[in-house]
Structure 1
């Protein structure tokens, strides 16, 4: 496939399976998606992870001499280790040498590096991590944000999340008029804690979004909403729970398929259906979550990401670049900054 011009910088040293799986997913994306991948990390380790038949002239490796470990405090580590792979990745985006950044490493470090090197978009007080979930309606995903960037939030932050999420849902996920919901313990306007009640009032009066009202836990995957906002504490619990449920259901399907010849025949007949089920439920199919609100395209992948997940993270980044997410969000949020 001929390159379409997007240059994606990838933290090749980040994640449980780095650099082997990171490199494998990146090379597949370069071949199938037509992007140019920049593998950032220790050159010798990256070269060792390349297939033996790789043409080194078609692989771009950017040296980074350090790595931020999972047990390190993110902000101090990012400041102390200036040549860490995640810092180099963000610098490439800042200098215009890459169109997007991807990391499966320390998510806190990725966010800290993005904030310190790229900065926030004007009008955004706090960036949010947006994760795409499947719903009961095929081809109608729901975007949840924030799922971990901000443990404590103010109503203004959630309003900004709603606007950014609506833009992403419309231009990347293809939703004509995204319906926004506020995650809460009841549908009534008066339900919830002080944050929920005050946020509900702000979202109701915001003409930039189509606010449908409160979304209870059972509504999250119903397909009724296209965007659901919440603070990062609740969102992260929701994300991890949903991932676990998806894995359990896939495991149950594997265990309950009959064995023997009849089982093999039945499985063969069901293979297309099972593949579609996996695509809708497996978090690896989404690749990660977009960090919305920073002045650059950043995808934070799962620490356990393997090659397919990295491939899909690159696809997500490419779609965000192609659909000019930053350029579309900027005019929408410029007037939303806290006073």
Structure 2
């Protein structure tokens, strides 16, 4: 029996906030109410009780659950509705009970299906069922993306989602995608990711995003076979300016920078290491191409960083800035 999934909201308005100090899920795991009757009852209370919260994975991150618990407290003091997801002994009676977790060194492809009551799956399920407006986790990227696919499903026409980080480069925002979802994509996947990144940039207020393909040189015909093929496909995309080198990324030559998840993750971590305190972006990346708002934070994120991610999730989750819209309208 299929569980009904809340339909995605359309984009209405997105305002910037200041920074703070499966598809077929029922086939792979029991529903929350079946696995835990008290959790099902809590879901009913949530639907009657005002604004939907951001659900924060209490078991995700290098220092979980201590850091997520502190992050939730910071976010709540800032007026953000937050609900923690994890074992009841950790999250208390008001949290979402999830007795299992997925560790950083485990294979998410296997463990996600074997553990329907893992915190990341229960949290994603809450978004799918409309009990939360967004999900934030500092757990394994693969597990977070996988849980989003299992519980939320893909947007129409999307084969593989992309994890997009919003960088602050020279006082302007640059969308970097991918930073971890697809480490070895083909050319068509890169082209699809470019479209998702372009639409996301538009929703962030960039009317005509310039799209660049990360490469070793800007001249045509350079790069790997996949990069060269992707450049040919991207030539038909509005806003494509060609290849950009890392120096061009830092100079703000493009508003959207497309690359594979392996390279993008290295770029992101290099910028974070060079800056010492981070790259000045959102401190969490957004999963684009799934039917809901899901953010992936760095495993070593501080409580303040994670609270900032929760705040950003509440902002874009309330306006569905991650939902696919081929019209690419501005907010």
1:184-227: CA deviation from partner (whole Å, max 9, x where unpaired): 11111211122112211211112xx3111110121111112110
Q: Which of 81, 89, 99 does residue 44 from structure 1 map onto?
A: 89
> Which residue is 2:293 aligned to?
297
Map of 1:99-248 to 2, 5 A cutoff?
Answer: 99-135=133-169, 137-138=170-171, 140-172=172-204, 174-206=205-237, 209-247=238-276
TM-score (ref. length: structure 2): 0.79
CA distance in 2 between counterparts of 1:216 and 1:285 reads 20
Q: How many Å apart are 1:31 and its aligned residue?
A: 2.9
Aligned residues of 1:120 and 1:295 also touching (Cα < 8 A):
yes
CA distance in 2 between counterparts of 1:99 and 1:18 reads 22
Aligned residues of 1:285 and 1:309 also touching (Cα < 8 A):
no
Aligned residues of 1:100 and 1:297 also touching (Cα < 8 A):
yes
> Which residue is 2:18 aligned to?
none
Map of 1:4-43 to 2, 5 A cutoff?
Answer: 5-32=51-78, 34-43=79-88
Q: How many Å apart are 1:240 and its aligned residue?
A: 1.8
CA distance in 1 between counterparts of 2:220 and 2:208 reads 22
Equivalent residue pairs, number: 280
Q: How many Å apart are 1:87 and its aligned residue?
A: 0.8
CA distance in 2 between counterparts of 1:300 and 1:156 reads 24
Aligned residues of 2:177 and 2:264 also touching (Cα < 8 A):
yes
Residues 144 and 245 from structure 1, CA distance in 2 versus in 1: closer, same or farther, beyond 3 angstroms?
Answer: same
Q: How many Å apart are 1:73 and its aligned residue?
A: 0.8
1:254-290: CA deviation from partner (whole Å, max 9, x where unpaired): xxxxxxxxxxxxxxxxxxxxxxxx6xxx247622111
Between 4-13 and 311-320, the greater mean CA deviation after superposition = 4-13
Q: How many Å apart are 1:6 and its aligned residue?
A: 4.3
| Greater radius of gyration (CA) | 1
CA distance in 2 between counterparts of 1:243 and 1:230 reads 18
**Secondary structure in structure 2 of the residue aligned to 1:220:** helix
CA distance in 2 between counterparts of 1:322 and 1:132 reads 18
Q: How many Å apart are 1:180 and its aligned residue?
A: 0.7
Aligned residues of 1:182 and 1:214 also touching (Cα < 8 A):
yes
Task: Decide which structure has greater helix share.
Answer: 1
Correspondence 1:64 to 2:127: no
Q: How many Å apart are 1:332 and its aligned residue?
A: 5.0
> Which residue is 2:310 aligned to?
314
Could you list the structure 1 runs, at least 4 aligned residues long, displaced by more than 6 angstroms after superposition.
none
Unaligned runs of 5+ in 2: 1-48
**Secondary structure in structure 2 of the residue aligned to 1:330:** coil
CA distance in 2 between counterparts of 1:116 and 1:180 reads 30
1:264-317: CA deviation from partner (whole Å, max 9, x where unpaired): xxxxxxxxxxxxxx6xxx247622111111111100011112211111111221
Aligned residues of 2:158 and 2:192 also touching (Cα < 8 A):
yes
Residues 228 and 331 from structure 1, CA distance in 2 versus in 1: closer, same or farther, beyond 3 angstroms?
Answer: same
CA distance in 2 between counterparts of 1:67 and 1:332 reads 39
CA distance in 1 between counterparts of 2:72 and 2:137 reads 12
CA distance in 2 between counterparts of 1:219 and 1:6 reads 40
CA distance in 1 between counterparts of 2:167 and 2:80 reads 25
Aligned residues of 2:184 and 2:262 also touching (Cα < 8 A):
yes
Residues 35 and 188 from structure 1, CA distance in 2 versus in 1: closer, same or farther, beyond 3 angstroms?
Answer: same
TM-score (ref. length: structure 1): 0.78
Unaligned runs of 5+ in 1: 48-55, 248-277, 334-339
